[in-house]
Amino acid sequence: MTEFQLRHFIDGTWQDGAGEAFVDVNPSRPSDIVGTGRGASGDDVDRAFTAARRAFDGWRTTPARARAAILSRAADIIDEHRDEWGAELAREEGKTLIEAIGETGHAANILRFHAQEVERQSGGVFESPSQGERILVIRRAVGVIGAITPFNFPISIPAWKLAPALVWGNTVVWKPATFVPLLAMRFAEALERAGLPAGVLNLVNGAPSVGEAIVSHPEVDAVTFTGSTRVGRIIAAQLAARGIPFQGELGGKNASLVLADADLDLAVEQVALGAFRAAGQKCTATSRVIVHEAVADEFLRRLAIRAESIVVGDANDTTVEMGPVVDAGAHDRVAAALVRARSSSAVAVFAPEPYASGALADGYFIPPSIFELDETDPGELWSEELFGPVVGVRRVSSTAEGIALVNDSEYGLSTAVFTTGLADALAAIEDIRVGVVHINSASAGADLHVPFGGSGASALGPKEQGAAAREFFTETATVYLRG
């Protein structure tokens, strides 16, 4: 298969980096090298910021409709290459082909949404207590945005950060996750081909040190980040000391609550999708399941059958339902947690041994796994974000007890509740402390036109997506106007 040269996009040109060498591998078959290159050096990051600062005034004063037109053309380019780039996404990241193609198309839709959103009202006129005066509230671009994006949605998360940043007139220096440089290049390529002016978007690939250089750079005006809570809090503290705004979409330990009156066929399928799709590598993935004792035995029996039926294999195989985790480090971390779970007081509902031979042993594959946890000592499967296809289960005797266990987490991103009762659904909506509540659908999932984000350890700063996106990427000015 094609081996790509991994490059950077700085000031409108594709360039080799001057930093450390890095290799992009296929997690389904690690012997397959997707690409090689050199990461960005400190000088490369400096040049990216210089370009972004130089381009800012010209871009922010470009008419909003002209900026939006570039995003719309980029969306068309992504759609034209959806199948091709989706296959590259599956090869590079390990998401199944159908998910990867769907994500690529979703990125195009995000660009279109924000291209249209900039046409809506962005300010207001207020009455003044003073005669002959009007008060205006206007929005304007923040400046140079530092963007750091994760591996698990390598084209759609960049789209939902960069689209509003760009359409509202900001310029960007962007570092994607080390594991997904090719899809980042594809996204930048679409914007370049759509006519984005030089310096407006600058892509710098490489190790975490590149992200550190973005965060600490004197020219950065705001930083948007998706990643772990630990890293996000470190970044937020560093930026706060300098008075620089931060937006962080951080970790999750999401629960699904299955009540006694739930449609069990629906609940089993949606929990399985939430837990095992993308190998559990979603901040909104289901990793805790709370089930009413009246239906627990039957629910667990059916969930085990569903987990056993999942076809695991090469992400580009169209018959596969679950691919690998992203790299050797993720594989070893999740595998070690499973070893500890098997030796603990947890009961294995469905927990196959690690793949010992063949293609699944060669790649970074983890079998879907389900453990019922000890009520007195539920352990790390209950409290720690594992980011793999593993769920821990606990039983409850009432809706109130179930809601209390949903809230038994420092995280507060997403939850799913399965019930046919309106009263229980309303109680869950009112009392569960998370940013996203699903009633009778999987915890993993977010639409582009509504706000997305959590509470507690799951988020810092303004929410993302929908009209909420402009809150971070614009600042308001109140104008007192006399004739």
Catalytic residues: 249, 283
H or E stretch at 371: strand 369-372
The Cα 258–Cα 270 span in angstroms is 11
Q: What is each CA distance from 344 to 96, 153, 182, 275, 293, in whole angstroms?
A: 32, 33, 41, 21, 22
The Cα 174–Cα 347 span in angstroms is 44
SS3 for 401?
Answer: helix
SS3 for 126?
Answer: strand
Q: What is each CA distance from 60 to 63, 167, 332, in whole angstroms?
A: 8, 9, 46
The Cα 315–Cα 29 span in angstroms is 10
DSSP 282-311: STT-EEEEEEETTTHHHHHHHHHHHHHH--
55: number of CA atoms within 13 Å, CB side? Answer: 25
* N-terminal to C-terminal alpha carbon distance within the chain: 68
Residue type, 340: R
Please, which residues bridge with residue 289 across strands? 256, 393
Residues 432-435: contacts with CB under 8 Å, at least 24 apart? 432/403, 432/406, 432/407, 433/407, 434/254, 434/406, 434/458, 435/459, 435/463
Can you say whether the dihedral through the CA atoms of 95, 167, 226, 220 is positive or negative?
positive
Residue type, 170: N
**CA angle, 284 then 459 then 50, to 5°:** 110
Cβ-Cβ contacts under 8 Å for 254 (sequence gap 6 or more): 274, 284, 285, 286, 287, 288, 411, 413, 414, 415, 416, 434, 443, 444
Q: Token pair of 292, please?
A: 């009413």
Q: Is the CB of residue 156 less than 8 Å from the CB of residue 106?
A: yes
Going by the DSSP 8-state scheme, the letter that residue 344 receives in this structure is S
